[in-house]
């Protein structure tokens, strides 16, 4: 019995530990910055590692993107995340920023399977057709296309049906109608 406990203890001690910090070097961040908060929080650091993996998968799919926009969008997202220093609840702001960015990349680059496209005709006008593809991201998301425009939308609280919003647009689906 003692021998098996000792073997189990030695075996588990030999396994590499999972990374605890974020994907970036915490030794290079300014004290009091949003990056320092990510370094200090195991939950935020885990979200950062998850985003790094999702971003790498998106980069692999965006290799031939013209014009190349992913890297510029990511730099803009980092600036936006760092603006969370202005928020009353910085940790919630940072957490939400990570969750939305992860979901956006997963949907936009179809890193997760989507449901759809589902077609809706607005106001009975065939020219007003909308195509929506729904993704089981966290939070749930949808890519909604109308004409030559695509909108990234996230599920919002609604009394009934499913309401997705993003930018200046929204899609409210109830019993198969929008």
HSE-up of 176 (CA within 13 Å, CB side)? Answer: 0
Mean pLDDT of 60-82: 91
The Cα 101–Cα 12 span in angstroms is 35
Provide the whole-model pTM. Answer: 0.83
Reported as a single tens digit per residue, the pLDDT across 31-46 is: 999 999 999 999 999 9
In a 3-state reduction of DSSP, which class is residue 174?
strand
Reported as a single tens digit per residue, the pLDDT across 136-177 is: 999 999 999 998 899 999 999 887 878 899 988 888 887 666
The Cα 80–Cα 78 span in angstroms is 5
Q: Are 178 and 165 in contact (CB under 8 A)?
A: no
């Amino acid at each position: 019995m003692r021998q098996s406990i000792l073997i189990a203890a030695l075996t588990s001690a030999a396994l590499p530990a999972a990374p605890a910090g974020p994907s970036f070097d915490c030794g290079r961040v300014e004290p009091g910055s949003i990056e320092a908060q990510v370094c200090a929080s195991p939950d935020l650091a885990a979200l950062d590692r998850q985003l790094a993996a999702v971003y790498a998968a998106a980069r692999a799919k965006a290799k031939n993107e013209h014009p190349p926009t992913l890297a510029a969008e990511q730099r803009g997202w980092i600036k936006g995340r760092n603006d969370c220093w202005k928020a009353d609840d910085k940790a919630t702001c940072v957490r939400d920023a990570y969750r939305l960015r992860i979901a956006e990349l997963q949907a936009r680059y179809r890193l997760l399977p989507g449901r759809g496209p589902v077609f809706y005709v607005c106001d009975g006008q065939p020219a007003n057709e909308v195509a929506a593809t729904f993704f089981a991201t966290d939070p749930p998301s949808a890519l909604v296309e109308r004409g030559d425009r695509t909108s990234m939308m996230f599920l919002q609280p609604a009394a009934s049906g499913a309401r997705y919003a993003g930018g200046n647009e929204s899609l409210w689906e109830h019993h198969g109608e929008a």
